[in-house]
Amino acid sequence: MIFKQINPHSCRTYLIGNENDNSVILVDPVIDHFADYLDLLKKDGLTLTHVIDTHIHADHISAGSSLKDVTGCEYVMHEAAPPQCVSVRVQDGDVLRFNTIEIKVMHTPGHTRDSISLIVGDKLLTGDFLFLDDAGAGRDDLPGGNPADHWESLNKLNELPDNLMIYPAHEYRNRQPSTLGRQRQSNPHLQKRSKEEFIKYLEDLRLGPADWMKDVLQANYACAKDPNAAWIPIDTPACEIKGTMEKGVNEIEVQYIEAQELNNWLQTSRLEVLLIDVREKNELTGPLGQIEGILHIPIGQLTGKLTELQEHKQKNIVVVCRSGARATTGAQILKKAGFERVYVLKGGMISWNKSK
């Protein structure tokens, strides 16, 4: 089987094909690359038989309608998808067969009503239903989004094996595809929560405004073929929860502290240091362990704890996570809230353990 990601930026488009014939499928193609896709098909002598959109997109205009018009391919989406130009509508459990390739459809609503995930051999294409590692998943606060549905959909993953490789529709920070097993450890959306806890977790993330995304949705509802049908900011991690938290948080600069230096601080002036570990509960008892005396606040709850933390404002606050990524977000949230002496443990618990 041929399987590759063909876009040069954070929107991911996957090309899937048979090695023995020239027919291929595109998943989540982006209008800005419409001409590139046609060039690729021509250059490699490929026939596009199907385009699949994993859901109605809010951050880019789909190339599905244009590719269908120009190549005569089928345009596949879930049966609840709004665009009228969709030619094949699928539902949960459907199996699409393309020569020797089988694509199993899972309905995974939450980010949108029409979100589907696709199982292709040992791969799971998740759309915005699940991203990689601390990126979590696509936001649920746009039209058609529903946190309770998202929780139900995430539970469907329980039946799937650890070794499935996860390929999302977005990746803004060059995280590499990894297994569902790894996501169970590192993705904050996949930590065990009741439905109520999950809804609260999403509320606590306090995502920033996204009015422009509603215009993009409208353009996709209408099967737009013009890349300028809606205004889209360049290089915004629009669909990533981390990137959509309170406007401006991601631009705040933070200071880092090396594991060795933190160790010196703890030896010499322990009382002046507050360690906040922002990992999920199960990670604290995992192989990386935890530093003695931490205050545990999972990253999703940090904004809700800022008032409680006021009493520690005079201390040096060191934010800790697995590798430093979530802690950087945590430190940015604290700095935005007026905490000044904030540091991130560089390299997180991985570096801490190596330094010992």
Near Fe ion by CB under 5 A: residue from 128, 133, 277, 280: 128
Q: How many residues bind Fe ion (CB under 5 A)?
A: 3
Residues of this chain, 145-164, that bind Fe ion according to CB under 5 A: none
In angstroms, the CA 123 to CA 42 distance is 27
Binding characters for Fe ion, 219-248, by CB under 5 A (x = yes): --------------------x---------
Cβ atoms 145, 185 nearer than 8 A: no
In the bound state, the residue with its beta carbon closest to Fe ion is 128
Residue 43 is encoded by which pair of tokens?
């250059």
Secondary structure class of 55 (helix, strand, coil)? coil
Q: Which is nearer to Fe ion, 58 or 273 (CB)?
A: 58
Distances (CA, A) of 114 to 80, 153, 348: 5, 12, 37
* Residue whose C-alpha is closest to residue 207's, from 251, 169, 246: 246
Q: Which is closer to Fe ion, CB of 131 or CB of 151?
A: 131
Would you give the binding string for Fe ion spanning residues 72-111, x where CB under 5 A is met? ----------------------------------------
C-beta of 213 vs 327, nearer to Fe ion: 213
The interface mask with Fe ion, positions 272-291, x = CB under 5 A, is --------------------
SS3 letters across 90-101 = ECCCCEEEECCE
Tell me if 53 contacts Fe ion by CB under 5 A: no
Is residue 208 classed as helix, strand or coil in its secondary structure?
coil
State which residue, 126 or 185, has the beta carbon closest to Fe ion: 126
232 CB-near residues (< 8 Å, 6+ apart)? 59, 60, 61, 212, 216
Helix (H, G, I), strand (E, B) or coil at 260: helix
| CB of residue 32 to Fe ion, shortest distance in Å | 16
Distance between CA atoms of residues 206 and 216, nearest Å? 22
Closest separation in Å from C-beta 28 to Fe ion: 9
Binding site for Fe ion (CB under 5 A): 128, 138, 239
